[in-house]
Amino acid sequence: MTSRAGRRRALACLWLGAAAACGGGGGTEPSARAVLDVDITGLPGGASARVTLTAPDGSTQALTGTTHLTDLPAGAYEVRARYVMAQGQTWTPAVAVDTAILAARDTGLLQVSYAGGPAPTANVSVAGYTVVQSIQRANNSVPMVADRAAVLRIFPTATAAGVPAPRVRVRLYAASTLVDSIDVTPGVATVPTTVDTAQLTHSWNALLPAARVVQGLSFTVVVDPDDETPESDKSDNTWPASGTTAVAVQPVAQLLFRFVPVRQSVNNLTGAVSNSNADSLFGFTQRLLPLGAVSMNVRGAYTTNAPAFVSNDSNGAWSQTLGEIQALRTNEGGTRHYVGILQVTYGGGIAGLGYVGLPASIAWDKPNSAPSVIAHELGHNFGRLHAPCGNPGGVDGSYPPSYSTPSFQASIGAWGLDMGTMLLKSPGIYHDVMGYCDPDWISDYNYSAILNYRGSSPAVAAGRSEPGLLVWGRVRNGSVILEPGLVVDAPARMPAVPGPHQVEGVDAAGNRLFSFSFAGDLVPDLPQGDEYHFAYVVPLSAGERARLAGLRLVGKGLTARQSAIRAPGQPLPAAAISATATAGGTEVRWNPAYPMAVIRDAATGEILSFARGGAVRLPATGRALRVEPSTGVVTLPAVTVAAP
């Protein structure tokens, strides 16, 4: 059986008819180096071939005619030929054998033959481009988010069908300095004759690395940079013809984000979020919204003893839990967005709630829909109202009317791209994520609005923590709810502007210790209508907290009060705090005269629950707990109870 190298030597013998090259005959030992003939035929006299030979080490040599090469190292030699224009014709190459794999003392042959044909009449030029991270208008007026990867779609077109599709070279510049060059291979065999944004393969798509997407970014495009495709006019293959094309890039603050697993004491159900699935829950939001860098973590579980969640929130459990998540965020004094993840037992109904313009929301944990729900609620947090699809309340009256027709509401308005799947999003198929219709993506209208919101709201460092009073509650149609006051050590937070609702704190004689008005934070997703929540940290000295005897909320023409559970000069009732082991958990009890108790992990100080009604069941941790009962207006010093 002849070896592969032996067969190559035999083939070379047949090509060249050179017995000496095969080791035949006597004489001296031939060179251990290889020989290669490149045979180029068919061109008219005076015409130079355009042939490139690539050696095993990657080096190249230009050949203009038949060439005999000697003393070559062993390895693979590859030939590539390009067309030649001569005597008014296009001479097209055909390569009979494009690769020779040579061993020592081998002789090989590579053959290129040219044939003449008519001069090209078709021309290829750049007809347009779009640069996109999530969605982009036809005029490319949606800025890129800095330090986030993008796709540059180049649209070459030909003046006639059948022109072989060439490569495209994109050169990237930062402040006029060349920083990168990207060669893009075509996704089609021939150049389209018209721009087709609906087909990703009909554009030449360059992935712009995140590190290149910076302010000052610009680019140029060269069609057929190695001149491999004959065409009638090569002068317009560089685009733009002079200078570069600028890309608008906008920096945004890092998003600080925290998932909170919500556990329901009433049924022991906990929202399914952990470090193992947080990325999958949040991935859709990262691809959809104008986010740059994200710092995300998962907090320890928070337990609510609200009633079980129902599909229309007729028992107020959704609303109460959202308020608790905002109180949790306020109490912990950070700057992160808080998203509580909870489990429900129904299939359709309320899936999430979020504040408009405030970084707290909650969403169910259903894996197929939760990612979209989270994105929707964060859209609210970034100041967006509902898109007009699916009959939501709180509709954005400025949503572009042209994006809706009688048969299709709240279109995304422009072509989108999911860079995670590299799938286009058609404005004729996809609805805005801020509505209630599927399938969803985000419109250029809402994307730009969120980008402007985030650009005008830079990251703010947490303020200095100090003792204060957490005053919180909600105003909804037909009722106002004032939660028990809680003493906190957190940055002060007061209303930025006055509003139609009023809160005041008074002493036992009715003297006002503090008072402020506020508008509240809108919650637009409730079936009963819009609701306004509030959670403020009022700076109060120890003396003022000791004097505080009552809180009053006035809103919607209604009044809610919280009064201290003891009369002036009378002792407080015993708190009677205990912790006992239950099946799979710990039950904490206290005197129900105290309307609420803050339960913390004694070692870390992390809040485990804002518990009500004198009892709450927590998951077993084997750790000591710290219990702070509220008198209705302030919390008492903590009592530590050992793990049962």
Q: How far is CA 107 from the centre of its chain?
A: 57
- Please check whether residues 545 and 586 belong to one and the same domain: no
**What's the whole-number average pLDDT of the chain?**
92
50-97 pLDDT per residue, tens: 999 999 999 999 999 999 999 999 999 999 999 999 999 999 999 988
What's the whole-number mean pLDDT along residues 20-25?
40
Q: Would you call 288 helix, strand, or coil by DSSP? A: helix
In this prediction, residue 457 carries a pLDDT of 61
Whole-number Å distance between alpha carbons of 413 and 431: 9
| Structural domain includes residue 296 | no
| Structural domain includes residue 237 | yes
| Structural domain includes residue 549 | yes
Whether residue 184 contacts residue 231, with contact meaning beta carbons closer than 8 Å, is answered with no
| Structural domain includes residue 347 | no
Whole-number Å distance between alpha carbons of 403 and 432: 10
Whole-number Å distance between alpha carbons of 443 and 289: 10
Q: Which of 518, 523, 537, 515 is nearest to 476 (CA)?
A: 523
Pairing type for strands 107-118 and 34-41 reads parallel
- Please check whether residues 226 and 129 belong to one and the same domain: yes
- Please check whether residues 104 and 148 belong to one and the same domain: no
Whether residue 492 contacts residue 472, with contact meaning beta carbons closer than 8 Å, is answered with no
Report, in angstroms and rounded to the nearest whole number, the Rg of the chain calculated over CA atoms.
36
- Please check whether residues 26 and 102 belong to one and the same domain: yes
Is residue 484 predicted with pLDDT exceeding 60? yes
Whole-number Å distance between alpha carbons of 470 and 412: 41
Looking at the DSSP bridge assignments, the partners of residue 506 are 512, 550
In this prediction, residue 528 carries a pLDDT of 85
407-424 pLDDT per residue, tens: 999 999 999 999 999 999
Is residue 6 predicted with pLDDT exceeding 50? no
- Please check whether residues 136 and 222 belong to one and the same domain: yes
Domain boundary among 118, 142, 164: 118
45-57 pLDDT per residue, tens: 999 999 999 999 9
- Please check whether residues 477 and 554 belong to one and the same domain: yes
In this prediction, residue 479 carries a pLDDT of 86
In this prediction, residue 409 carries a pLDDT of 98
pLDDT band at 22 (very low <50, low <70, confident <90, very high): very low
Whole-number Å distance between alpha carbons of 439 and 501: 39
- Please check whether residues 532 and 606 belong to one and the same domain: no
Query: Tokens for 65?
Result: 């005619």
- Please check whether residues 113 and 135 belong to one and the same domain: no
455-474 pLDDT per residue, tens: 866 555 567 889 999 999 99
142-163 pLDDT per residue, tens: 999 999 999 999 999 999 999 9
CA dihedral 308, 312, 315, 316 (to 10 degrees): 100
What's the whole-number mean pLDDT along residues 24-40?
70
What's the whole-number mean pLDDT along residues 168-172?
99
- Please check whether residues 486 and 558 belong to one and the same domain: yes
Is residue 11 predicted with pLDDT exceeding 70? no
CA dihedral 514, 519, 523, 528 (to 10 degrees): 100
490-544 pLDDT per residue, tens: 999 999 999 999 999 999 999 999 999 999 999 998 988 889 999 999 999 999 9
In this prediction, residue 462 carries a pLDDT of 61
- Count of domains for the chain: 4
| Residue with token string 């023409």 | 557
Is residue 17 predicted with pLDDT exceeding 80? no
Domain boundary among 87, 118, 149: 118
In this prediction, residue 2 carries a pLDDT of 31
State how far the alpha carbon of 58 is from the alpha carbons of 54, 77, 102, 137, 185, in Å.
Answer: 6, 9, 15, 43, 20
Backbone conformation region of residue 65, classed left if phi is above 0, alpha if psi is from -120 to 50, else beta: beta
In this prediction, residue 52 carries a pLDDT of 97
- Please check whether residues 175 and 210 belong to one and the same domain: yes
In this prediction, residue 555 carries a pLDDT of 85
Domain boundary among 498, 528, 563: 563
Q: What is the CATH number of the domain that holds 167?
A: 2.60.40.10
In this prediction, residue 1 carries a pLDDT of 34
What is the DSSP annotation of 127-148?
Answer: EEEEEESSEE-TT--SPEETTS
Q: Which of 303, 354, 332 is nearest to 486 (CA)?
A: 332
287-336 pLDDT per residue, tens: 999 999 999 999 999 999 999 999 999 999 999 999 999 999 999 987 89
Cβ neighbors of 87 (< 8 A, separation 6 or more) are: 44, 47, 116
Cβ neighbors of 447 (< 8 A, separation 6 or more) are: 134, 135, 142, 289, 290
pLDDT band at 435 (very low <50, low <70, confident <90, very high): very high
Q: Would you call 242 helix, strand, or coil by DSSP? A: coil
Q: Which of 357, 356, 340 is nearest to 281 (CA)?
A: 340
Q: What is the CATH number of the domain that holds 605?
A: 2.60.40
In this prediction, residue 263 carries a pLDDT of 98
Whole-number Å distance between alpha carbons of 37 and 12: 10
Is residue 238 predicted with pLDDT exceeding 50? yes
The answer to whether the bond into 240 is cis (omega within 30° of 0) is: yes
**pTM for this model (two decimals):** 0.89
- Please check whether residues 59 and 130 belong to one and the same domain: no
Give the residue numbers spanning the domain of 12.
4-118
531-585 pLDDT per residue, tens: 999 999 999 999 999 999 999 999 888 899 999 887 666 788 999 999 999 988 9
First to last CA, the chain: 82
- Please check whether residues 99 and 189 belong to one and the same domain: no
In this prediction, residue 12 carries a pLDDT of 35
